[in-house]
Amino acid sequence: MRVAFRSAAALCVAAIVLAATGCGSGSSSNNPFSSFPLATVPLVKLSTDTFTNPTSQHATEVEPDSFAFGSTIVAAFQVGRISGGGASDIGFAISTDAGATWKNGFLPGLLTIASGGATQVVVNTSPDGINWGNPIAVSKSPDPDKDWITCDNTITSPFYGHCYVEWDDVAQSGLVWMSTSTDGGQTWAPALNPGNSVNAGGLGGIPLVQPNGTVVVPMLEPFVSEIEAFTSSDGGASWSLPVQVALVNDHQVAGGLRSGALPSAAMDALGNVYVVWQDCSFRAGCTSNDLVVSTSADGVSWTAPARIPIDTTTSTVDHFIPGLGIDPTTSGSTAHLGLTYYYYPQTNCAPASCALYVGFISSLDGGNTWSAATPITGPMALSWLPSTFSGQMVADYVATSFAGGKAYGVFAVAKAKRGSTFDQAIYTTKAGFDVAASQGLFSSVDERPAVAHGDSSRSPTRSYNNRLIR
């Protein structure tokens, strides 16, 4: 489930969800981490799970994404996580004053789809981010997952107003599909595969539209363990075969937490695409994950992955589940980047001792240098998280969006259970992060990987082959 904007004659919000929703402060008395540092950045709770259906784990909210347009920020997320996949409904939260105040609600019509046993990709649209229409079907693939949407917002683009949806089909070994709308999401063309190939598999593809109308879709190809990207230069009429961005090495996150090297991607004002994922290549022995970044001006040629210097390569910290945002008014060597992520201070923790935090880091110069990292919230215990068939779940992805020059991370925060009842909801920072006021203190220039890309000593494919998705 993802959310995006389309700017046309009037503002239009289009949120895409996997509509197989039936099929993405608590008490401190049982806090096992009283000796850990407490992160205390002021937060705003964006939503609450109010559903009571017996198939879900209440009260839980997971899987947030967000998009900003001017002073408006819209976030969307799963509400009432179901262990086997999906949720009770899709929630949304919206701020129209650059993060100062928020409203929330739930998308209509999805419970009807779920009760009918349908599994399909659908789009809900809204003229204002508050009042949403009923779902519009995009595809009835047998088992769609990890769906994304974006729209062409550049008025000078030859394909201005086109919207693009990506998903993969679990029933077809992760075969990737793309569908295009030319009327603001009201109707959708038959889906196509990258390069028209039935072997084009992937996971978590994120379509981004450059100012010239070219669509770039970075994704994870889990079965060969690499980040790839494919493109369209004709408004979605055809799609290229994927090219390699980089091979992936990632450390298996401890404690049974659901996590993998799904990419987060964003684009600056000139159309430069940035992709971030978790990777252990810069750590001797692949002992923990850093977050790494690669960039491209055309979606075809990509820079070698550079480590984001959140801490040293000899630290015990494990970093994972990144959410990248870029100030859309900035670009190139002065692009403002904000990155929200989860981490463990101690990578080799046991399930009962893993202390989960949310952190933030930023760059003022297109990722050449980075600020000091800020712990946002934590510690959280894994026992406070809902369960899935692939581990305890805080998120497969999180988000960062810019409004008014400030970066707002959107992320799930879990608090101690009340008896058997969860207390996990979607939050953001109260005041955002003023990236322009940060300092670029740290750089990873001239660092070289310590682990060869593609080294078989790492262990990512076990989780991917079990489909840590849905």
Which amino acid appears at position 390 of this protein? S
Residue 362, pLDDT > 80, answer yes
Instruction: Please classify residue 84 by burial: count the beta carbons closer than 10 Å to its beta carbon, then call 0-12 exposed, 13-18 middle and 19+ buried.
Output: exposed
**pLDDT tens for residues 252-261?**
999 999 999 9
Domain ranges for the chain: 2-27+41-465
First and final C-alpha spacing in the chain = 10
When pLDDT is cut at 50, 70 and 90, the band that residue 452 belongs to is: low
Residue 25, pLDDT > 50, answer no
Q: Write down the pLDDT at residue 468.
A: 43
Q: Write down the pLDDT at residue 11.
A: 31
Residue 123, pLDDT > 60, answer yes
Q: Write down the pLDDT at residue 119.
A: 78
DSSP-derived secondary structure letter, 130: S
Length of the chain: 470
Pair type for strands 175-181 and 421-429: unpaired
Range of weakest confidence among 218-227, 354-363, 437-446: 437-446
Pair type for strands 39-40 and 374-381: antiparallel
**pLDDT tens for residues 190-221?**
999 999 999 999 999 999 999 999 999 999 99
Mean pLDDT of all residues belonging to the chain: 89
When pLDDT is cut at 50, 70 and 90, the band that residue 18 belongs to is: very low
Q: Write down the pLDDT at residue 187.
A: 96
Tell me the three state secondary structure of residue 323: strand
Residue 186, pLDDT > 80, answer yes
Q: Write down the pLDDT at residue 211.
A: 98
Which amino acid appears at position 174 of this protein? G
Q: Write down the pLDDT at residue 113.
A: 59
Both tokens assigned to 58: 């209440």
410 touches 399 (CB < 8 A): yes
When pLDDT is cut at 50, 70 and 90, the band that residue 443 belongs to is: very high
402 touches 326 (CB < 8 A): yes
Q: Write down the pLDDT at residue 220.
A: 98
Sheet containing 243-247: which strands, arranged edge to edge?
A: 208-209, 215-221, 226-232, 243-247
Q: What is the spatial distance between Cα 276 and Cα 339, in angstroms, rounded to a whole number?
A: 9
Q: Write down the pLDDT at residue 118.
A: 65
- Average pLDDT on 457-467 reads 38
Q: Write down the pLDDT at residue 34.
A: 74
Q: Write down the pLDDT at residue 439.
A: 86
Q: Write down the pLDDT at residue 460.
A: 39
Q: What is the spatial distance between Cα 174 and Cα 191, in angstroms, rounded to a whole number?
A: 14
Nearest to 378 by CA among 397, 396, 394: 394
Task: Using a pLDDT cut of 70, give the percent of the chain over it.
Answer: 88
pTM of the model: 0.92
Q: Compare 27 and 255 and report the one with higher pLDDT.
A: 255
Residue 302, pLDDT > 90, answer yes
Q: What is the spatial distance between Cα 107 and Cα 110, in angstroms, rounded to a whole number?
A: 7
DSSP 140-171: --SSEEEEEEEE---TTSTTTT-EEEEEEEGG
Question: In Å, how far from its chain's centre is CA 209?
Answer: 17
* Residue 44: Cβ within 10 Å count: 17
Cβ-proximal residues to 192 (8 Å cutoff; 6+ apart), any chain: 177, 178, 179, 236, 238, 239
Q: Where are the beta strands (DSSP E) in 11-158?
A: 11-18, 39-40, 43-45, 57-69, 72-81, 87-95, 103-106, 121-126, 136-139, 144-151
- Average pLDDT on 132-156 reads 93
DSSP-derived secondary structure letter, 37: P
Q: Spell out the SS3 assignment of 421-433.
A: EEEEEEEEECCCE
Q: What are phi and psi of 369, to 5 degrees?
A: -130, 160
Q: What is the spatial distance between Cα 346 and Cα 192, in angstroms, rounded to a whole number?
A: 44
Q: Write down the pLDDT at residue 114.
A: 60
- Average pLDDT on 337-352 reads 97
384 touches 415 (CB < 8 A): yes
Sign of CA dihedral 91, 255, 260, 84: negative
CA angle 451, 456, 458 (to 5 degrees): 65
- Average pLDDT on 235-258 reads 97
Architecture of domain 2-27+41-465 in this structure: 6 Propeller (2.120)
Residue 29, pLDDT > 80, answer no
Q: Write down the pLDDT at residue 82.
A: 94
- Average pLDDT on 9-13 reads 33
**pLDDT tens for residues 44-98?**
999 999 999 999 999 999 999 999 999 999 999 999 999 998 899 999 999 999 9
Q: In degrees to the nearest 10, what's the CA dihedral of 3, 279, 202, 254?
A: -80
Q: What is the spatial distance between Cα 45 and Cα 242, in angstroms, rounded to a whole number?
A: 39
Sign of CA dihedral 394, 397, 401, 407: positive
Nearest to 227 by CA among 63, 468, 464, 64: 464
Question: 């347009």: which residue's tokens?
Answer: 69
Q: Write down the pLDDT at residue 230.
A: 98
Q: Write down the pLDDT at residue 454.
A: 52
230 touches 220 (CB < 8 A): no
Nearest to 468 by CA among 414, 396, 397, 413: 396
Q: What is the spatial distance between Cα 228 and Cα 272, in angstroms, rounded to a whole number?
A: 16
